[in-house]
Amino acid sequence: MKTLITNAKIFYQHHLMDGEMLFDEHEILDIAPTIERQEDWQVVDGQGLAILPGLVDTHVHLRDPGYTTKETIATGTMAAAAGGYTTIFAMPNVKPFPSTADVMERYLKNIEEHANVRVFPFGTITNDEQGKVPTNYRALKELGIHWFSDDGVGIQSEEVMALAMKRAKEADVMFSCHTEDMVYRKQKASVHESEYATQNGWIGIPSACESEQLKRDLVMVISNGLKYHADHISAKESVQALHAAKAQGADCSGEVTAHHLLLEDKDVKGPMWKMNPPLRSHEDRMALIEGLENGDLDFIANDHAPHTMEEKTRPMELSPFGIVALETAFPLLYTEFVENQKRWSLNQLIGWMAEKPAKRFGLEKCGKLEIGYRPDFFIADLNADVTIDPDTFQSMGKNTPFAGWKSVVDIKQTWFEGKPVYTKQK
């Protein structure tokens, strides 16, 4: 069936235009100020709201299989839809780890049966994320898996990483790396290493924990030619390392999370602000913002990491790392940087949250509203008055530091493959 949305502001060719959009379940058929309609079309009144491209998140923890008390494929992908995301990449630290073709086949079937939006799973870089034996990348690539990560742990052995990169280059696949050199991390560390941490009796994690292993990896990437992506960058030294590597021709990119753009170490009040990498200094946060603006960092991802409230209300050193983010990222970033500061344009934000991650991760016809592209989009009021309330989240995880924050964005509906998959309850 063909559907025509009328009376809308459509984000088309990098700006909002008054118009109409025609699509079916396969592709966008037309976008124009007016479209001559036919009787058999379904017509939807856009009510003057903004129609924006479905967002793409390359860093999501769905916790399923293995940790379904925290999140499931169904709830996690519904949270994605509620946040405007129509394509997400699922991190592989689930149980069993998707390190073999047999496990990955079962995982893909589970995704097909339960996902509400498009999900691409990562394979692991090393078997079961043990950091010892590289995964058989070719076997997983035959199943359509082109992306590999050991997210949650850094690969400590330079020799293992060098061998893994060699085999990944031969298989023509991409690495997405959480860099963390455990030499720099003390037991029970939970926040950024700073005077503020010491004042609160917290053990800190220095920036070198992230940046030194990233620098190690980038040296090998330059010589190897591997396609490499750096996860959740938090430190100014890491931004500088990516800048230098790109200048030398490395095929590398880097992401930054919404929480690292919005918060810093002195905002930390307890476990709801605990994530890995941690919120760092004001200087680091400014370097992340500027790095995104000048291209040293490439786009925004979320590291959506649901936990139970029982876990997140433990003492700081015992609480797990991570916050939920899918349902708050676009509303809060738009509110802060587009509406309040007027530092970014809507075009920049959509580029960093849809078009650029889609392009970097090789997704066809995603991330833009264009004729011939996938009919994936969300409908939002950009002049609303919304208070972030975790009790309304679609995610099972309610662990957010943003409870009570105000947003001017109210996401009303999300469409995936030409059909509505999320509608906000009034």
Query: What per-residue confidence (pLDDT) applies to 126?
Result: 98
In CATH terms, 55-360 corresponds, of 3.40.5.10, 3.20.20.140, 3.40.50.150, 3.30.70.20, to 3.20.20.140
Q: Tens digits of per-residue pLDDT, 5-54? A: 999 999 999 999 999 999 999 999 999 999 999 999 999 999 999 999 99
Residue 15: is it exposed, middle or buried by C-beta count within 10 angstroms (0-12/13-18/19+)?
A: exposed
- Give the pLDDT mean for 151-177: 97
From its phi and psi, is residue 240 left (phi > 0), alpha (psi between -120 and 50) or beta? alpha
Q: Tens digits of per-residue pLDDT, 323-382? A: 999 999 999 999 999 999 999 999 999 999 999 999 999 999 999 999 999 999 999 999
| Position 426 pLDDT exceeds 80 | no
Helix axis angle for 101-114 and 73-82, nearest 10°, is 50
Average pLDDT, the chain: 98
- Give the pLDDT mean for 385-404: 98
Residue 20: is it exposed, middle or buried by C-beta count within 10 angstroms (0-12/13-18/19+)?
A: buried
Query: What per-residue confidence (pLDDT) applies to 423?
Result: 98
For CATH 3.20.20.140, the residue range(s) in the chain are: 55-360
pLDDT bracket for residue 320 (50, 70, 90): very high
Query: What per-residue confidence (pLDDT) applies to 227?
Result: 98
- Give the pLDDT mean for 218-238: 98
Widest distance between CA atoms in the chain: 69
For CATH 2.30.40.10, the residue range(s) in the chain are: 3-51+374-423
- DSSP at 221: H
Does 3-51+374-423 carry CATH code 2.30.40.10?
Answer: yes
- Give the pLDDT mean for 138-142: 98
- Give the pLDDT mean for 158-170: 98
- Give the pLDDT mean for 61-86: 98
pLDDT bracket for residue 279 (50, 70, 90): very high
E strand or H helix at 318: none
Q: Which of 303, 381, 389, 391 is catalytic?
A: 303
- Give the pLDDT mean for 62-78: 98
Q: Tens digits of per-residue pLDDT, 98-137? A: 999 999 999 999 999 999 999 999 999 999 999 999 999 9
Active site residue 217: no
E strand or H helix at 169: helix 158-171
- Phi first, then psi, for residue 225 (nearest 5°) are 85, 10
